[in-house]
Structure 1
């Protein structure tokens, strides 16, 4: 990633969070998908090379140029197979795009929604045109132009509209071991909610049904997959992960118990107290005092 030589991952993430947007050029960088907090940002990639993209419970083997749309609420991973892998990536938050009230949520768009078309095959002429848009975004983010964010938003919308004209790729394959893949997706989606960094933003997924809805599958199917693969229920995994986060927040933050309860999705502190005591044998306040 030539655009970030000499910059630390921390500096990149701080800048990304502050601005809500970043775009850069890929140059034989297979680790580009792993350096930022994916739970906050949507992603559009234009890449040329050979790779396997795992998206939710499906996989796509890509050779040539593809346009990829990543949703922070849908687990995905990228395996680069070729030695030469080039293109562009842009990340943006939904707040940055500032959709009007009449616009649909990004999560409901045909590219970002679960079950939608996340990968498109791109011809050479389309690649050259899209390259130009990404290059313009890269140039614009370096300027002092007062309205550059508005201009960049227009470029993102232009990419989306160009994609709407294209046909979706049909080379998706269901994983041979569907139950194992669903379990892997669930566990990654669970982990993506952590760490909790803001007491004003509670967990959006709290129950097995929430995760099933997010993955567009039946809750019974999710439960069966997780149970057969790990030997433990979906609810057990969720409960244990929330309990670990509760302990970390009690130990490493100065948030009061009510703030921690809210951040973890509990409607009332009493519910959190009961939950925590059932798991640890002591209430949150006693646990925190014992750490001193």
Structure 2
């Protein structure tokens, strides 16, 4: 049994960061499968195997060829039950795909939006066609063609449009222990917000409502589940993680206190100072060496 999960780092994450795009082949050698922990990439994958995919508070059992669309917000994992598996995948940032396009964002796309259905079962003809597009991408990826990025965007958009003509899979199942599952997803999504890598982008998710919206559940359901499973309110988990990150940034970076506060979602330095003092009993500057 093989496990693929989107929570580890990969040797060529820097390649994705540099170019905004990566395409690769999947095979039965798990050590060669790239896995990313970045928050800002999308993924399209065609895979032939017997698998169980966990997506948000749902799961799906597959036995054959499927096409999967992953977004940066919803945590998901992929457990391969068969001995072998094969396919292709590409990962990309929204900036890469929408470089010259001011139309709707990917978050609004039927394939990537929160609450959408990101998994399609393919027949032999569909598999052959999608495989051929990935094979062309892999071949072109290694060339020095000056308009290679535009060509890659065209291939990705062709896959997206072909998929929108298909019927999504209807084999999703709800987990028997919904509270445990949604809590696990919340905690994983919380961890995905950290560590803070830049002082120029404020923390995207700050409140239970933010997390509930990202996980496509009602905030009351999220709060009940988290409290039932962990014994602590959702806000307590968020607060503890923000404070721990604030301490790390204060101790291990040369960012100004104002920049640290902004990166953690506080519009004004005074808000950050008051928040930090209320929860720790001391002011942020006391942690500076």
TM-score interval, normalised by the smaller of the two chains: over 0.9
Counterpart residue number, 1:232: 232
- Within the alignment, does 1:159 sit opposite 2:159 as a pair? yes
TM-score by length of 2: 0.93
Aligned partners of 1:33 and 1:78 also within 8 Å: no
TM-score by length of 1: 0.93
- Within the alignment, does 1:15 sit opposite 2:15 as a pair? yes
Superposed, which structure 2 residues align to 1:136-285 within 5 Å? 136-285=136-285
Q: Which runs of 5+ in 1 are unaligned?
A: 1-8
Stretch deviating more after TM superposition (34-43 or 198-207)? 34-43
Counterpart CA distance in 2 for 1:234 and 1:114 is 20
C-alpha displacement of 1:36: 1.8
Task: Give the secondary-structure state (helix, strand or coil) at the position aligned to 1:110.
Answer: coil
1:157-191 CA distance string (max 9 Å, x none):
00001101111101000110111111111111111
- Within the alignment, does 1:120 sit opposite 2:128 as a pair? no
1:28-75 CA distance string (max 9 Å, x none):
144677732331110000000111000000000111100000011111
- Within the alignment, does 1:131 sit opposite 2:131 as a pair? yes
C-alpha displacement of 1:100: 5.5
Counterpart CA distance in 2 for 1:100 and 1:143 is 22
Task: Give the secondary-structure state (helix, strand or coil) at the position aligned to 2:179.
Answer: helix
Aligned partners of 1:26 and 1:88 also within 8 Å: yes
Counterpart CA distance in 1 for 2:146 and 2:110 is 32
Root mean square deviation of aligned Cα: 1.5
Matched residues, number: 281
Q: Which runs of 5+ in 2 are unaligned?
A: 1-8
Aligned partners of 1:30 and 1:80 also within 8 Å: no
Superposed, which structure 2 residues align to 1:70-89 within 5 Å? 70-89=70-89
